[in-house]
Amino acid sequence: MQHTRIAGLDGLRALSVIAVFLAHTGLAGVVGGGYVGVDVFFVLSGYLITSRLIAEHHRNGRIDLPRFYWRRARRLYPALLLMLAGVTLYCLVFPGSLRVGFEVLPAFFYVMNWVRAFGIYDAHLTGHTWTLAIEEQFYLVWPLILLGVLKFWPRRLVLVVALLAVAVIAWRSFLMSQHLSMARIYCGFDTHSDGLLMGALLAVMPRQWTAWAGKLWPLAVAFLFIVTFSETGLEFSLLAWGYPLTPLAAALTIAKVVTAQQSALVRSLDIAPLAGLGRVSYGFYLWHYVVLQSMLYGGHEKMGAFFGRFSHPNIAMVTITFVVSMALTLVSWFAVEKPAMRLRFPWRRNAAMA
């Protein structure tokens, strides 16, 4: 099934992945709040997935769960498998202190967030897949929760989703009061799924509510800009009350984009370079961290010594990482991701042929 493209959302994806990229390259003085990009991705994912599930339920009176999980696997796994194949090859060629099983398996099974949350292993090349793990865990449980709410409390859908988001924030605040580690708070699905739920809330709200929320977009964009370009981003001490403002600001910005498709904001986000990068942002996110870490910390000492000679900010490192990552991204997109999108749902077709 083809989904209607919403102008501006690819541009938001592009800006988000650029913020994450610059933060990972160590330009802390330039982009200290690069994690904002992660939360924008979470809100976008929650919004888009929930919108599609709701549309399917309204159209068919049900949600085809096997088909939903197939579509998610078809979209996410091909690019991930290609990246993990590259990581495996690198670990075999430049082993150093890398342990290929710990680099590959948590990423493959989408549990890297828990590996990081409990300090089990510091994955040098695939640690960034913790964000994908949180999203995949959301994809696993959210359709079931949504089906339950639509069946038993359809008129309370907005309220239930809002309460779930508030519950995550409250739970995170409680765990903070128990002095749990930053990694546990930041990487746990139970403590970092509020952005996904805010996106879901945006999807189930009445259209007029969404349009009203979108009127606050100038404040939201200003907040995201300030936090992104601050030296340290939001401090851990602000997570209890300040941190939820980031996905909230992202949700308000998305509300403006989806309800004002002819606005200047959407036109500026939908320029070709941003829209193009946004479409391949998943592959770029997968590869940029692997390329960066393999050059600096992945066991190849000569590479680390070479790039370590440059003063901060390391322009050579940033440039080479971007170019190599983009090349690998395009290979992934054209050779793996686009062909995979054409794969048909297998089981019903086979049943019909039997």
Q: What is the pLDDT of residues 19-59, one digit of tens each?
A: 999 888 876 556 667 789 999 999 999 999 999 999 999 99
Percent of the chain scoring above 70 in pLDDT? 86
Residue 125 has pLDDT above 90, yes or no: yes
Number of folded domains in the chain?
A: 1
Q: Give me the pLDDT at residue 4, please.
A: 76
Examine residue 143 and say whether the peptide bond preceding it is cis (omega within 30 degrees of 0).
Answer: no
User: Quick check: is 21 in a domain?
Assistant: yes
Residues 198, 290, 97, CA angle at the centre, nearest 5°?
A: 120
The CA distance from 333 to 211, in Å, is: 34
Contact between 112 and 130 under an 8 Å Cβ cutoff? The reply is yes
Q: What is the pLDDT of residues 220-247, one digit of tens each?
A: 999 999 888 876 555 544 566 678 999 9
Q: Give me the pLDDT at residue 264, please.
A: 95
Residue 257 has pLDDT above 50, yes or no: yes
Q: Give me the pLDDT at residue 348, please.
A: 59
Q: What is the pLDDT of residues 186-231, one digit of tens each?
A: 999 999 999 999 999 999 999 999 999 999 999 999 999 988 887 6
Where is 238: in which H helix or E strand? none
User: Quick check: is 1 in a domain?
Assistant: no
Q: Which residue has the higher pLDDT, 244 or 137?
A: 137
User: Quick check: is 256 in a domain?
Assistant: yes
Q: Report, as an integer, the average pLDDT of 53-79.
A: 96
Q: Give me the pLDDT at residue 347, please.
A: 65
Residues 63, 168, 198, CA angle at the centre, nearest 5°?
A: 55
User: Quick check: is 3 in a domain?
Assistant: no
Give the chain's mean pLDDT.
Answer: 89
Q: Report, as an integer, the average pLDDT of 60-67.
A: 94
Q: Which domain holds residue 312?
A: 9-349
User: Quick check: is 4 in a domain?
Assistant: no
Residues in the chain: 354
Residue 1 has pLDDT above 60, yes or no: no
Confidence of residue 318 (pLDDT cuts 50, 70, 90): confident
Q: Report, as an integer, the average pLDDT of 324-345.
A: 94
Query: In the chain, which residue ranges form alpha helices assigned H by DSSP?
Result: 9-24, 35-60, 65-93, 100-108, 112-117, 130-152, 157-177, 182-187, 194-204, 207-214, 217-228, 245-259, 264-269, 272-279, 281-296, 301-307, 315-332, 338-341, 346-353
The CA distance from 247 to 165, in Å, is: 11
Confidence of residue 350 (pLDDT cuts 50, 70, 90): very low
Q: Which of 94-103, 208-217, 331-340 has the lowest mean pLDDT?
A: 94-103
Q: Which residue has the higher pLDDT, 22 or 162?
A: 162
Confidence of residue 132 (pLDDT cuts 50, 70, 90): very high
User: Quick check: is 29 in a domain?
Assistant: yes
Q: Give me the pLDDT at residue 238, please.
A: 58
Confidence of residue 296 (pLDDT cuts 50, 70, 90): confident
